[in-house]
Chains A and B, each alone.
Chain A
């Protein structure tokens, strides 16, 4: 049965086999005359066989995590996806060309015209620096690689590394079986894949690796009480802070973990050593990132960590005094005094800090975590981002599958559950004829095993039941693997900048309009031209079109975005005033009426109205609706039919026949015939429309000569 240990159906199944005790070893002295492929010929001892199995499983999981993220590179090409990654790509390019000093002090005048953006101080440099280091390393080894390839493949590479960290984490928390299952689960978990697919060059790709690394190193530090591990976890925390704004969750989860340990009494001196050194060193390192700045001492979201820090000081000081004093009565008095003073001082400090505004309150990001509908009512610009919508239950199932009932959103706990279940079941199934292994972590399992063995004699059905359950578990896990791969292939591998559809004969049709338009901009407009578009496309225009934009995805200035929104929602002459004040030369709109593309600007238009109306009360949302309904056909509101966005989207569209059997001017994305077909533009002229009419660029005409 030693030979059976070869991986049969995916790496998950094999993870269980290593708990099988291999007592019927072939005698090591006899040599096999006929070489066969079983492990016996390698003449390895049990421990070495186990090591070989574990290492090979880990290697397979590592490779699996990488290749399952490569769907879009194989189907389309090696390019950067979506919107935010284009900004990251542009900054990485700048870093590799100009060096770290220029990058760290970069002020960019090509976005947010005329304000500009302090890029060096408003980004998280971890991702860019990581990709640049990999690029420089490869270049040093004389691989003539382009930075774009490095950027595209950074996320899958770090996903593979995450599986390794998950293995060590599982091993630390439970045992190596759980570690292997954890690694396998996290390699194909769709929720993670969606943010780390090849081409999705975004912060989460490296941040999730840093997150798991920080937690693992901190748990290791608490378990060993060593200052060296605490230092390592502080460095991992620094990497996390440099990589993603979501580090705030770590700086709150770790104090929560410490607090729970304290409350449940599972603490010792090691906890003090681990948390305090990690907190002080981690906080100092984190403040080196300009974007984070002094938030660790000023922001309300970071106060929990500081609170736990002081709590630990008080707690262990009291412990020490108790140890010194032999008289309990005296200690009680001392305890009373100290605790009341400590609480009093802490409360006063917190109260003064919050009242004077020195400690800033929780940001919208945290409120949205606690109440997902908060942003919808209060901050339209956060609510308009589709990623911020509260998740539907079906999406949870889509992303997590069996992990949902195993334990929501925690691959590790599921791994422990799966591994322990499989281990116990196999133990029961095979306990009849085995002497249990000594290598098990739970030392009492040997006695358990022998008792189970005796039990087995009297209950033969128990063994069959165990085997049936095992098969059920394997079926579930293989279903999970299939689901994950299907989800990755269908839903998460789209580059968003290149669209694909099925033609009439089933052939694949590619729409590459975005890149066509940006390339046109790059080649046919003056280098100092300014482009106005909705903020979604800002990063792509600056990265690929190489032109100055008015607003982009950073969305740091709501008023500026509202100005653009107001321009898009006004009549053409009012909009012309606004565009002249912003020095706009070109306007870019995205239109899906010809192709049926539903993420175009007309569908996003109501958000433009809401955001614009939030700052300029002259824009009123009901003006654009008819009976609360948003329409673009004949029955639409007159303001809607004559606003700038409508005109720019549907200019010349009234003459176009889009579908057989439908009248000209039939909008395939909305499914109606448009209301205003005879559009005349007075202050703009059409500059370029892409081959499928997805991107339309208009030039703003200079004012007329006076005579």
Chain B
């Protein structure tokens, strides 16, 4: 039972890896950015678990800025990905401009909330 699960997991991992290798480079860069943001968020959570959550607004603003940029980057990836039929008439420049605007608003609010 365990052997079949591990074999399954290995097969899964291999097929995922091979399928992912075929994605275009710009999407891979966005994925890297998302991964970095989530990783930073995890570090902040671990730090909060160690030293406590005071002041809470600072913790929340740091965490939410990471999660916020991750979410916005995923939205950008969705809009820029050529395989998505419903976004095919959206210019990638427009998608990027929206992304920048939303990030601007996000970080302005974060700076106000940081305390």
Contacts and interface: CB of A to CB of B under 8 A. Distances in A.
Interface stretch (A280-288, A368-376, A576-584): A280-288
A268 interface: yes
A228 B104 CA distance: 12
B20 interface: yes
Contacts of A45: none
18 contacts: A225-B87, A226-B90, A231-B101, A231-B102, A269-B84, A269-B87, A272-B75, A276-B74, A277-B71, A280-B64, A281-B109, A284-B106, A284-B110, A297-B60, A324-B16, A324-B19, A330-B11, A330-B15
B45 interface: no
A328 to B, nearest CB: 11
A298 B107 CA distance: 22
Interface in B66-115: 67-68, 71-72, 74-76, 78-79, 83-84, 86-87, 90, 95, 98-99, 101-102, 105-106, 109-110, 112-113
B101 A228 contact: yes
A270 B99 CA distance: 15
Contact of A268 (B56, B86, B102): B86
A682 interface: no
Nearest to A238: B109
A280 B67 contact: yes
Contacts of B109: 281, 284-285, 288
A231 B12 contact: no
B16 A277 contact: no
Contacts of B60: 287, 294, 297
B60 to A, nearest CB: 7
A234 B99 CA distance: 14
A231 B72 CA distance: 11
A273 B101 contact: no
B20 A324 contact: yes
B38 to A, nearest CB: 11
A469 interface: no
Interface of B: 8, 11-12, 15-16, 19-20, 56-57, 60-61, 64, 67-68, 71-72, 74-76, 78-79, 83-84, 86-87, 90, 95, 98-99, 101-102, 105-106, 109-110, 112-113
B86 A270 contact: yes
B68 A280 contact: yes
A133 to B, nearest CB: 19
B19 A326 contact: yes
B78 A281 contact: no
Given A227-B72, A280-B64, A327 B15 contact: yes
B98 A280 contact: no
A269 B86 contact: yes
Residue of B74, B90, B95, B101 ringed by the most chain A CB atoms within 10 A = B74
A234 B67 CA distance: 16
A334 B12 contact: yes
A321 interface: yes
Given A231-B101, A269-B84, A284-B106, A276 B75 contact: yes
Contacts, number: 91
Given A228-B98, A325-B15, 14 more contacts: A227-B75, A227-B101, A234-B105, A272-B75, A272-B78, A277-B71, A281-B68, A284-B110, A287-B113, A297-B60, A324-B19, A330-B11, A330-B12, A334-B12
A333 interface: yes
A221 to B, nearest CB: 11
Contacts of A334: 12
Contacts of B19: 324-326
Nearest to A228: B98
B19 to A, nearest CB: 4
Given A231-B102, A280-B64, A288 B84 contact: no
A522 to B, nearest CB: 40
Interface in A242-271: 268-270
Nearest to B109: A284
A231 B57 CA distance: 22
A294 B53 CA distance: 13
A284 B95 contact: no
B79 A273 contact: yes
A297 to B, nearest CB: 7
A277 B64 CA distance: 12
A277 B73 CA distance: 10
Nearest to A286: B109
A234 B64 CA distance: 15
Given A321-B16, A327-B15, A225 B86 contact: yes
Interface string A574-594: 000000000000000000000
A330 to B, nearest CB: 5
Contacts of A231: 98, 101-102, 105
Nearest to A284: B109
A312 to B, nearest CB: 10
Contacts of A270: 86
A132 to B, nearest CB: 20
B74 to A, nearest CB: 8
Contacts of B110: 284
A276 B75 CA distance: 8
Interface string A306-326: 000000000000000101111
A226 B98 contact: yes
A283 B105 CA distance: 13
A294 B113 CA distance: 11
B81 to A, nearest CB: 9
Contacts of B84: 269
B18 to A, nearest CB: 9
A333 B86 CA distance: 29
B56 A294 contact: yes
Contact of B8 (A269, A280, A333): A333
A478 B110 CA distance: 52
B16 A325 contact: yes
